[in-house]
Structure 1
Amino acid sequence: MKHCLALLVCLWLAGCSTLGLQKPQVSLVDIHPAASTLLEQNFDVTLRLQNPNRLPLSASGLSFDLDVAGNRLASGLSNQAIAVPALGEAEITVRVHTSTLSWLRQLGKAVNGPGKLDYQLQGRLEGLQGVASLPFSSSGEWKLP
Structure 2
Amino acid sequence: MRRALGFSLFLMLLSLSACALFPHRDPLNITVVGIEPLPSQELEMRFAVKLRLQNPNETAIDYNGVALDLEVNGRTLASGVSDQTGSIPRFSEAVLSVPVSISAFSVLRQTLGLSQTQSLDNLPYVLKGKLAGGLFGTMRFVDRGTLDLPSTAATW
**TM-score bin, normalised by smaller chain:** 0.7 to 0.9
Aligned to 1:24: 28
Aligned to 1:132: 137
Residues 20, 45 of structure 1: CA spacing in aligned structure 2 closer, same or farther, 3 A cutoff? same
Distance in 1 of aligned mates of 2:123 and 2:33: 13
Aligned to 1:5: none
Distance in 2 of aligned mates of 1:80 and 1:124: 12
1:85 Cα deviation (Å)?
2.2
More strand by share: 1
Where structure 1 has 5 or more consecutive residues not aligned to the other structure, the ranges are 1-8
Q: Find 1:118's aligned residue among 124, 127, 136.
A: 124
Please tell me whether residue 76 in structure 1 is matched to residue 80 in structure 2: yes
Matched residue type, 1:59 = Y
Aligned to 1:89: 93
Distance in 2 of aligned mates of 1:78 and 1:21: 24
1:115 Cα deviation (Å)?
2.0
1:83 Cα deviation (Å)?
2.1
Where structure 2 has 5 or more consecutive residues not aligned to the other structure, the ranges are 1-13, 152-156
Distance in 1 of aligned mates of 2:34 and 2:107: 16
Distance in 2 of aligned mates of 1:32 and 1:103: 17
The CA RMSD over aligned residues, in Å, is 2.9
Q: Find 2:39's aligned residue among 35, 38, 41.
A: 35
Residues 114, 96 of structure 1: CA spacing in aligned structure 2 closer, same or farther, 3 A cutoff? closer
Distance in 2 of aligned mates of 1:31 and 1:107: 20
Distance in 2 of aligned mates of 1:113 and 1:82: 39
| Per-residue Cα deviation, 1:38-80 (whole angstroms, up to 9, x for no partner) | 2111111111111121212111121121111111111121111
Task: Report 1 or 2 for greater relative contact order, CA contacts < 8 Å, sequence distance ≥ 6.
Answer: 1
Matched residue type, 1:100 = A
Identical-residue share of aligned pairs (%): 35
Aligned to 1:141: 146
Contact 1:60 1:126 in 2 (8 A): yes
